[in-house]
Amino acid sequence: MTVIRQDDLIQSVADALQYISYYHPVDFIRAVKEAYEKEESKAAKDAMAQILINSRMAAMGRRPICQDTGIVTVFAKVGMNVTFEGDMSLDDMINEGVRRAYNHPDNVLRASVLADPDGKRANTKDNTPAVINYSIVPGDTLEIDVAAKGGGSEAKSKFAMLNPSDSVVDWVLEQIPKMGAGWCPPGMLGIGIGGTAEKAMLIAKEALMDPIDIHELQARGPQTRSEELRLELFEKVNALGVGAQGLGGLTTVLDVKVVDYPTHATNKPVAL
């Protein structure tokens, strides 16, 4: 039986959120560098160069990569043999970690979360509450993944309840030009297919937590329908020419993630 102390969990969440505010994942940096090296458009090349320079400056200075430090999204996998030592709920522990992270005196992060969203829209001043998703799993560990979801990328999320015979590829290709540059390409697309409306959205978002590995998939070839869709969409989305920061060019997406889930026979929910 694993015992997790309340303050350890709170501080871990806070440290993780500070860390991701100024460090890009290595796989992202490598993918942008590769895209930069093969890019033919000067405007797109300059945009990616600026992303890489900004990333280095943020890492060295330990200051946010972007002025929008997001709404915190959490995926928690809670082992069935885990117990907690403390007097707070797990939700409250996670939110206290968010509070500490965003009010850290050495690197205060922008508080973007508003309560009463259709009314007073009052800033909570500490970026709480987080959006928390739980899975109860076998084992004696607790795994918490955190993401700071920027308003631009979140605003460009799409959902459709397609007919079973409709093409997911056609629908995605129709959406990308409408999204403009507000999601700050080049980036990743997470696509969820199946389940119900909320399940499709959830698996699409959680897919974005996986590392960039499209080139490994290209090298070994697809083994499932989801992998076939990943490769097809990666090629066809990049062929649209939206490019870095919407300036045109060869690379709009660095990777495409596709996750599916069993669904009702009359439906095909799709989230982007």
- Reported confidence tier of residue 238, pLDDT bands at 50, 70, 90: very high
Does residue 73 fall inside a structural domain?
yes
184-197 mean pLDDT = 97
3-state secondary structure of 86: coil
Mean pLDDT over the full length of the chain? 97
Last residue of a domain, one of 149, 183, 216: 149
Domain that holds residue 247: 152-271
Q: How many Cβ atoms from other residues are within 10 Å of residue 118's Cβ?
A: 5
In-domain check, residue 255:
yes
* Rounded Cα distance, 73 and 206, in Å: 9
The predicted-structure confidence for 191-209, as pLDDT tens digits, reads as follows: 999 999 999 999 999 999 9
Same domain assignment for residues 80 and 139: yes
32 inside domain: no
How many Å apart are CA 54 and CA 28, to the nearest integer? 13
The mean pLDDT value for 31-53 works out to: 97
Shared domain check, 164 and 230: yes
Residue 107, domain member (yes or no): yes
Cβ-based burial of 103 (10 A; exposed 0-12, middle 13-18, buried ≥19): middle
Instruction: Decide: 59 and 73 in contact? Cβ < 8 Å.
Output: no
Asked if 183 and 252 sit in the same domain, the reply is yes
Give the number of other CB atoms < 10 A from CB of residue 133: 14
52 pLDDT more than 90: yes
Q: How confident is residue 86, by pLDDT bands cut at 50, 70 and 90?
A: very high
Q: Judge if 105 and 70 occupy the same domain.
A: yes
**Mean pLDDT throughout 42-54?**
97
Last residue of one domain, picked from the residues 149, 183, 208? 149
Kindly indicate the confidence band of residue 1, based on its pLDDT and cuts at 50, 70 and 90: confident
Are residues 73 and 162 located together in one domain of the fold? no
CB 81 within 8 A of CB 2: yes
Query: Of 16-20, 52-56, 180-184, which gets the smallest average pLDDT?
Result: 180-184
What is the arithmetic mean of pLDDT over 143-172?
Answer: 97
pLDDT band at residue 124 using 50, 70 and 90 as cut-offs: very high
Q: Based on the domain organization, do 193 and 260 belong to the same domain?
A: yes
Question: Which of 46, 52, 45, 50 shows the shortest CA–CA distance to 28?
Answer: 52
- Is it the case that residue 141 has pLDDT exceeding 90? yes
252, 211: one domain: yes
Cβ burial of 249 (10 Å; 0-12, 13-18, 19+) is buried
pLDDT at position 197 is 98
**239 and 113 inside one domain:** no
* 135/178 same-domain check: no
Tell which residue, 208, 186, 196, 216, has the closest CA to residue 272: 208
If asked whether residues 209 and 76 sit together in one domain, one would say no
| Domains in the chain, number | 2
Q: Are 227 and 217 in contact (CB under 8 A)?
A: yes
Give me 252's structure tokens. 């709009």
